[in-house]
Amino acid sequence: MKRDIKQFTAGQVAEMINGKLEGDASTIIETFAKIEEAGKGSITFMAQAKYETFFYNSTAAVIIIPEQFQPKNPVSAVLIRVADPYTAFVTVLEKYQSLQTIRPSGIEQPSFIAPSAAIGAEVYIGAFSYISEHVKLGNHSMVYPNCYLGPNVQVGDYCVLHPGVKIYHDCIINNHVVIHAGTVIGADGFGYTPNPDGSLRKVPQLGNVVIEDHVEIGANTAIDRATMGSTLIRKGVKLDNLIQIAHNVVIGYSSVIAGQTGIGGSTRLGNGVMVGGQVAIVEHVEIADGSKIGAKSKVTKNFREKNSNINGDPAFDYARSLKSQAVYRNLPELEKRVKDLELKSKTDAGTAGK
């Protein structure tokens, strides 16, 4: 999909990403696109050899390529050589975003701000937002329409709360945090205990949620408050859409979790953990630093060895899980072979008995 951008020249882009330019520096860039879709006036990139076919067929104006890549055939595009084409292209996208984004400002009406709330400098509060008693909203933060900040909530500097974000009482959001639309921070943890008559008694959820600096949380994610203490999302964590994080969970620094994952109460993920989509992690589990969990895995035990590769249902060592899957796929053939051997054995036994 192409998107219109403010115009750049190839020379400006090369300077922006510290690349080596091959071609006309005055070439105009009007759009950006994936290499398989890039056309006239667009800028794109090629980071992997598997896209080389698209490279030769592209009519893009500018293509960012690896430093060492040597084209086998001539191309019409201006080339910019860099060490890491993907990272360079992200830099171009960031520049585009900074030029296209119009930052809203001021306090729109109708909105409610409690008299005891402390509002920082140069903030934006969108219409129909509700800022409760004793809230602290930091400098340069943006609260888009229909957000709710409960009593005693703290939001730091340069935060962005997209439309419909709900943050329950006593939760703490540090600086440079982005929370996307529909996310709920600090709802009660799922805690109940059975009564003698079999009914369920709710366990009071008296803690909060603490989100450290530079965290980004996708749309419609839920992070439950702790029963006691804090549910903790550490610095640099990136969460996808539609994630459930239960009470008293700790997510370590710079971990990444893909969509539709659910994490049970009091589980602890180490630093730099990567979790694929639709993963289920039961309560009270520990996952070591640097571990990777494959999509749709079900984690039911601790993995305390750093940089573990985890996969499957139930989850275990990634390489062994792939071997198990190969055996599983071959079960029909193995069953047929066993039946053939059983039949042959019975036939041989019958022949021997005559």
Last residue in a domain, options 100, 130, 163? 100
H-state helical runs in the chain: 10-16, 52-57, 85-100, 318-329, 331-352
With respect to residue 336, please indicate whether it lies within any of the assigned structural domains. Answer: no
Residues 191 and 314 in one domain: yes
Question: Is-catalytic flag, 180?
Answer: no
| Averages of pLDDT over each 10 residues, the chain, 354 residues | 64 95 94 91 93 92 95 92 96 85 89 98 97 98 98 98 98 98 97 95 97 98 97 98 98 98 97 97 96 94 93 68 64 79 75 64
- Total of domains in the chain: 2
Residues 59 and 110 in one domain: no
Residues 123 and 94 in one domain: no
Residue 239 C-alpha from the chain's centroid: 4
| Whole-structure pTM value | 0.83
Residues 228 and 245 in one domain: yes
DSSP string, 279-320: -EE-TT-EE-TT-EE-TT-EE-S-B-STT-EEEETTEEEHHH
Q: Give the model confidence (pLDDT) of 82-124 as tens digits.
A: 999 999 999 999 888 887 777 888 999 999 999 999 999 999 9
Q: How far is CA 274 from CA 179, 253, 262, 308, in A?
A: 20, 11, 14, 10
Residues 93 and 110 in one domain: no
pLDDT of residue 1: 39
Check: CB of residue 230 under 8 Å from CB of residue 213: no
- The secondary structure of residue 41, as a DSSP letter, is T
> Which residue(s) pair with 315 in the sheet?
312
With respect to residue 29, please indicate whether it lies within any of the assigned structural domains. Answer: yes
From the candidates 176, 180, 247, 284, which is the catalytic residue?
247
Q: How far apart are CA 58 and CA 45, in angstroms?
A: 11
Token code pair at residue 141: 């933060």
Token code pair at residue 254: 């710079």
Range(s) of the domain holding residue 91: 3-100
Last residue in a domain, options 48, 80, 100? 100
State the CATH number of the domain containing residue 67.
Answer: 3.40.1390.10
Q: How far apart are CA 139 and CA 149, in angstroms?
A: 16
Last residue in a domain, options 100, 126, 158? 100
